Amino acid sequence: ACSSKYVLSQMHPMWQGPLAVPGGDRQSPIDIVVRKSVLDTELKPLLTKYDPQTCQQIWNNGYSFLVEYDDTTDKSTLKGGPLQDKFRLCQFHFHWGESNAWGSEHTLDRRLFPAELHLVHWNSDKYSLFEEAVMEENGLAVIGVFLKVGKRHEGLQKLVDALPAIRHKDSVVEFTRFDPACLLPTNTNDYWTYHGSLTTPPLTESVSWIVMKQHIEVSHDQLAVFRSLLFTSAEEEVQKSMVNNFRVQQPLCGRTVRSSFS
Ligand SMILES: NS(=O)(=O)c1ccc(C(=O)NCc2ccc(F)cc2F)cc1
C-alpha cells in the first residue's frame, strides 16, 4: 500500500466508504514493534506547560468527544522530546472500543488497549493557526497515552460527569479549569516517536507522534460512560453508540520508530 499513489483507508462506519489519501507513505496509527524501535540518545524529556485556565469547552464532534483549549496564546505548550519548536495545545480526545478488549489506535507488539488519549498540539513557532499547521510536515505533535481498565482515575471524573450533557453529535457545553497534565502518566520520559498522520480525515501527514510507554488507569465504569455517547445527532431516528472510533493500522513503509529509553 506504500508504493501505490493512493492509500485507501478502510471502509469504516465513521466514514461510510473508502477515502483516497494522496501520498500515504506515513499514515497512522501503526503497531509499534518494540524490539525494532531504535534508541535515540538525542531525544529529550517532554516539557509540558499546561494552564487549566485555557480550558474552554467539551463537545461531541460525531467521531469522538473533544476538550478544547484556547490556543490564541502560548499558555499551554509542549516542547522538548523529539521536537525542535514550541507547540500549542489545542485539544485532547480519545478513541475506544465497544468492549475492553480493544479500542486503542496504536498497539505495542500487537497488544491492544481499551482506549487511547490524544493530546493535540500545533507548531506555534512556525505557524499562526492550527488550520495552517495541519497541512505542514512539521505542523503537529500528538501525545498518545494508552488507557487500561483498573482503578478509578480521579482527575478523569470531572470529564466523565460532563459527558451525558454532550450525548449527541454537535452538542457542546462549557468546560473550564481542567488540567490535562493529570491525564499524563507519572513517567513521561519513556516514549516512542515517529512521523505519521492524523488518524481521521483529512489524514494529513503532519504529525510527530509521541506515544507514552506508561499507560494510565481508568475504571470500567468510567470507560462505560464513554460508550454512552452517540455518533448521531438528536434529530436522527436511529441512535448509534459511539464505540470503535479507531482507525485500522497502516503500513510502516520503512519508517523507523525511535525510543527515548532502552
Ligand atoms: N486522532 S488524531 O490525534 O490523529 C487527530 C487530531 C486532530 C484532528 C483534527 O483536528 N481534525 C479536524 C480538522 C480541523 C481543521 C483542519 F484544518 C484540519 C482538521 F483535521 C483529527 C485527528
Q: Where are the alpha helices (DSSP H) in the chain?
A: 130-133, 157-162, 220-226
pTM beyond 0.90: yes
Q: For strand 258-259 and strand 191-196, is the pairing parallel, antiparallel, or unpaired?
A: antiparallel
Q: What pLDDT was estimated at residue 8? A: 47
pLDDT in tens, the chain (262 residues): 454 444 444 444 444 444 445 568 999 999 999 999 999 999 999 999 999 999 999 999 999 999 999 999 999 999 999 999 999 999 999 999 999 999 999 999 999 999 999 999 999 999 999 999 999 999 999 999 999 999 999 999 999 999 999 999 999 999 999 999 999 999 999 999 999 999 999 999 999 999 999 999 999 999 999 999 999 999 999 999 999 999 999 999 999 999 999 9
Q: What pLDDT was estimated at residue 22? A: 57
- Confirm whether the ipTM is greater than 0.90: yes
Number of residues that this document lists for the chain: 262
Q: Is the peptide bond before 52 cis (omega within 30 degrees of 0)?
A: no
Q: Is 138 in the pocket of ligand 1 (CB under 6 A)?
A: no
Instruction: Check if the beta carbon of residue 205 is closer than 8 Å to that of residue 215.
Output: no
Task: Using the mean position of ligand 1's atoms as its centre, give its distance from the Cα of residue 163 in Å.
Answer: 21
Task: Using the mean position of ligand 1's atoms as its centre, give its distance from the Cα of residue 18 in Å.
Answer: 18
Q: What pLDDT was estimated at residue 4? A: 45
Question: N- to C-terminal Cα distance for the chain?
Answer: 31
C-alpha cell recorded at residue 184: 499524563
Question: Hey, whose CA ends up nearest to atom 4 of ligand 1?
Answer: 198
